[in-house]
Amino acid sequence: MRQFIKQALASTIGSLLGLTLFSAVSLTLLTITIGAIIQSATNSEDTVKVAERSILTIDLSRSIVDLNPGKTLQEALAGESNRVTELKSVLNAIDAATKDKRIIAIYLDGGSGKQISSTGFATLKEVRTALERFRASGKKIIAYNIDMDKRDYYLSSVADRILINPMGSVDINGFRSETMFFKNAFDKYGIGVEVVRVGKYKSFGETWSLDKFSPAARQETQELLNNLWGEFKTSVGTSRKLTPASIQQIADDRGMLTATQSLKNNLVDRTAYPDEVIAELQKLSGKDEEDKTSFRKISIEDYATVVSKAATNSTRKIAVIYAQGSIVSGEGSPGQIGGDSMARELRELRLDKNVKAVVLRVNSPGGSALASDIIQREVRLLQKEKPVVVSMGDVAASGGYWISTYSNKIFAESNTITGSIGVIGINFNYQKLANKNGITWDVVKTSKLADSSTIARPRTPQELAISQQMVDDIYDDFLNKVSESRKLPKQKVAEIAQGRVWSGSDAKKIGLVDDIGGLSDAISYAAETAKLGKDWELEEYPAVEGWEEKLLKQFAGSKEARALQVQDPLTAELIKVKAELSVLKTFNDPHHVYVRLPIDFKLD
C-alpha cells in the first residue's frame, strides 16, 4: 500500500509539473502568436495606399452583412478573410469613391469562384442604389462573372458593361420559397406539437404541425414573392432596357441561360475570358506596379479602411445599433438578439450624453414576445430623450416589427420583408416517443394545473384555452402598441395585421413604415433630426468579439465550428434540416409565446 501511495504521489506531482510546463509553453506561444498577428494587422493597415487611376473592386463571392461576426480562429491564425463585408463600410466606400478623383471605376468581380452567399435582396438593393449614384457621377462600372445567380445579376445589372465567361451562365428563373414540414416525421417518432395562434396568416407553427402550406400561408407567400419578383424585374429591366414582361418570358422559357443565350437576350454585353477582362481594365487604369499581369486596383475592404481613417473626429455621436438574428430571452448567443443584452445596450446609449441620435438597424424575423417587449420598452425610453430612427434590412417582421415601433421614423427598402403582426404559442410533448422506448412519467401535484407545462403529455382542453387566452391578450397588446406608435386606428391595424407579411413598398402604402430607403438614409435623417449638421461621428454597436477573445476561449476549451463553403446536394439538404431544427433552440420564451415570422422565409 505504501509503495502504491508513493507511485500515485509521484505520478500526481509529475502530472502537475507537466501541466505547468505545458501551460507556460502554451502561454508563451499564445503571446507570440497574438503579437505576431497584431503586428501583421498593423503593418497591413499602414501600407494601404490609394494609387492614382485605381479601380475599386467588389468581390461578389463575399457576403454583405449588417454586423461582421468577426474572424474565426482558423481564419485569424491563417491570415484569411472571413468572407463577409459590412454593409456600412461598402456604402461608405462607394460614396467616397464617387467623389474621389483617384478612383476611376468600379469592378464587380464574380470570377473568383462561387461561395455560399447570405446577402439578402434588400441589402443588395441598398448597395445597388449606391452604385447607381456612382455611375451617375460619370464613372464606369464593369461587371464580370462566370455563373451568375440571381443575386449576382441583380447587382451586376447596374453596370455599364456586363461581361461573362464564354462557358458561363445566367440564372434568372424567378423566385421561390421552399419550406420544410416536419409533421409526418414528428408523427412517426411520436413527438406531439400543439400550436395556438392569433392571425389568419400567422403560420410559423405550421412547419411543425402540417405537411404542406395552409391555403392562407400559400396565398400570403405567393403574393409576397410576386411583389419581390416584380421589384427585381423592374430594377433589372430599367438598367438593361428590358421590359418586365420580357424578363418574365425569359424566366418562363428557359430560366438558366448559357453565355450565348444571355448575349442574345441582352442580359450581358459580351463574352470574355479573364485575360481579356484584365486587358480591358488595364486600358482604364494601367498595369499594377507590383503585378504587371493585373490592373491598378484596390479592394473595397482596403478602401473602406482608408475612408474610415479620414472620418470626422467629433464628440457628438450617432449610434447605429444592430438587431440581427432571432429575438430570444436572456443574453442570447452570437447571431441572436438577446432581450436583456439588447435592452442594456439601448439603456447605455440613452445615458450616454455624447450620443445625440440612434439608428436601430433591424434584420430579424422576430422571436420571443417577452424579449421583444423588453427591447421595445428601452426603445420607447430612448426615443423620449433623443431621436431614434429605424432602418429595416432584409427582414424586420413580427418581433422585428415590434421593436421597430415608437421610433421617430421607419425606413425600409421596397423589397424588405416586414409586418407579420401576429402571435403564436408552441408546445411540444414527447409522450409517444418516450413510451415507444419504454419511458413513462408519473406525477404527484397539489392542484389541477400544476403540471400544465409538462412535456410528458398533450395539454388538456382547459390548458389549451388558457394558452389561447394568453396569446389573444398579447396580440391585443401588439395591436394597441402599433396603433399608438404608428398613429393608426386600432381597427385598421387589426385589418392589416393577422400575421400578414408585407413587402416594404406595400408596408409604406398601409402605414407600417414611413419611407423607402436604406441605412444611409436613416443615418442622414437622424443627423438632420438631431440638428447636428456635419459635426458628428458614427459609432456602431454592439461590439463584436474579436479573434483575440476567441483565441483565449479556445485555449480555455471552448469549441467553434466553421461552416462548410461547398457541399454535395445531399449534405446541403441535411444541413438545411439541421438549420430548420436549430430554430427550436430559440424557443426560450418563458411563456412559450412568440411573435415570429410565419414561415422561416428563405428566398431562392
Residue-level pLDDT at 19: 44
Task: Please say which residue of 308, 324, 353 terminates a domain.
Answer: 308
Q: Are residues 517 and 387 in the same domain?
A: yes
For residues 342-364, give the mean pLDDT. Answer: 97
How far apart CA 234 and CA 180 sit, in angstroms, is 30
Q: Would you say the C-alpha torsion 432, 434, 436, 441 has a positive or negative sign?
A: negative
Q: Tell me: the pLDDT tens digits for 36-59?
A: 445 544 444 456 789 999 999 999
Query: What residues make up the domain containing 118?
Result: 51-173+254-308
How far apart CA 216 and CA 196 sit, in angstroms, is 16
Q: What is the pLDDT confidence band of residue 222, given thresholds at 50, 70 and 90?
A: very high
Residue-level pLDDT at 167: 94
Tell me the percentage of the chain whose pLDDT exceeds 90. Answer: 61
Q: Residue 178: count other Cβ atoms within 10 Å of its Cβ.
A: 8
Task: Look over the chain and give the mean of its residue pLDDT values, rounded to a whole number.
Answer: 84
What does the chain come to in residues? 604
Tell me whether residue 35 is in a domain.
Answer: no
For residues 540-565, give the mean pLDDT. Answer: 54
- Which residues, listed in sequence order, are joined to residue 169 by a DSSP beta bridge? 147, 258
Residue-level pLDDT at 537: 93
Residue-level pLDDT at 589: 66
Element (H, E) at 419: strand 417-419
Higher pLDDT: 80 or 159? It is: 159
Does 124 have pLDDT greater than 50?
yes
Instruction: For 302-312, give one letter per residue: b (16+ CB within 10 A) or e.
Output: bbbbbbeeeee
Q: Are residues 379 and 427 in the same domain?
A: yes
Residue type, 202: K
Q: Are residues 297 and 407 in the same domain?
A: no
- Which residues, listed in sequence order, are joined to residue 162 by a DSSP beta bridge? 143
CB 177 within 8 A of CB 599: yes
Residue type, 494: A
Residue-level pLDDT at 293: 79
Higher pLDDT: 321 or 182? It is: 321
Tell me the percentage of the chain whose pLDDT exceeds 70. Answer: 78
Q: Apex CA 431: angle with CA 425 and CA 435, to 5°?
A: 165
Tell me whether residue 206 is in a domain.
Answer: no
Residue-level pLDDT at 44: 45
How far apart CA 48 and CA 45 sit, in angstroms, is 6
Residue-level pLDDT at 590: 64
Q: What is the pLDDT confidence band of residue 202, given thresholds at 50, 70 and 90?
A: confident
- Look-up: residue for cell 446577402? 119
Higher pLDDT: 333 or 292? It is: 333
For residues 436-442, give the mean pLDDT. Answer: 89
Does 370 have pLDDT greater than 50?
yes
For residues 301-305, give the mean pLDDT. Answer: 93
Does 424 have pLDDT greater than 90?
no
CA 305 to chain centre: 22
Q: Are residues 294 and 392 in the same domain?
A: no
Higher pLDDT: 450 or 559? It is: 450
Which CATH number belongs to the domain containing residue 489 in this structure?
A: 3.90.226.10
Q: Are residues 321 and 375 in the same domain?
A: yes
Helices and strands (DSSP H and E) totals, the chain: 22, 23
Tell me whether residue 244 is in a domain.
Answer: no
Does 509 have pLDDT greater than 60?
yes
Q: What is the pLDDT confidence band of residue 288, given thresholds at 50, 70 and 90?
A: confident
Of 387, 319, 309, which is closest to residue 352 (Cα–Cα)? Answer: 319
Residue-level pLDDT at 252: 95
End-to-end CA separation in angstroms for the chain: 71
Q: Are residues 489 and 542 in the same domain?
A: yes
Task: Please say which residue of 290, 308, 326 terminates a domain.
Answer: 308
User: H/E/C letters for each residue in 375-407?
Assistant: HHHHHHHHHCCCCEEEEEEEEEECHHHHCCCCC
Residue-level pLDDT at 322: 96
Does 570 have pLDDT greater than 60?
no
Q: Are residues 302 and 377 in the same domain?
A: no
Q: Are residues 283 and 358 in the same domain?
A: no
How far apart CA 84 and CA 68 sit, in angstroms, is 7
Phi, psi (deg, nearest 5) at residue 488: -120, 145
DSSP 331: S
Contacts of 421 (CB under 8 A, 6+ apart): 199, 398, 401, 478, 479, 482, 493, 496, 497, 498, 499, 500
Q: Are residues 156 and 70 in the same domain?
A: yes
Tell me whether residue 498 is in a domain.
Answer: yes
- Which residues, listed in sequence order, are joined to residue 361 by a DSSP beta bridge? 322, 391
For residues 314-330, give the mean pLDDT. Answer: 94
Tell me whether residue 213 is in a domain.
Answer: no
Q: Are residues 348 and 474 in the same domain?
A: yes
Residue-level pLDDT at 434: 87
Which active-site residues does the annotation give? 202, 398
Tally the domains of the chain. 2
For residues 550-561, give the mean pLDDT. Answer: 46
Tell me whether residue 45 is in a domain.
Answer: no
Q: Tell me: the pLDDT tens digits for 480-499?
A: 999 999 999 999 999 999 88
Does 555 have pLDDT greater than 80?
no
Tell me whether residue 580 is in a domain.
Answer: yes
Task: Please say which residue of 308, 323, 349 terminates a domain.
Answer: 308
Q: Are residues 334 and 301 in the same domain?
A: no
Q: Tell me which range, 74-88, 463-477, 505-519, 567-581, is most confidently predicted by mean pLDDT.
A: 505-519
Of 98, 104, 171, 164, which is closest to residue 129 (Cα–Cα)? Answer: 98
Does 16 have pLDDT greater than 50?
no
Residue-level pLDDT at 392: 97
For residues 546-558, give the mean pLDDT. Answer: 49
CB 395 within 8 A of CB 502: no
Residue-level pLDDT at 417: 95
Q: Are residues 339 and 302 in the same domain?
A: no
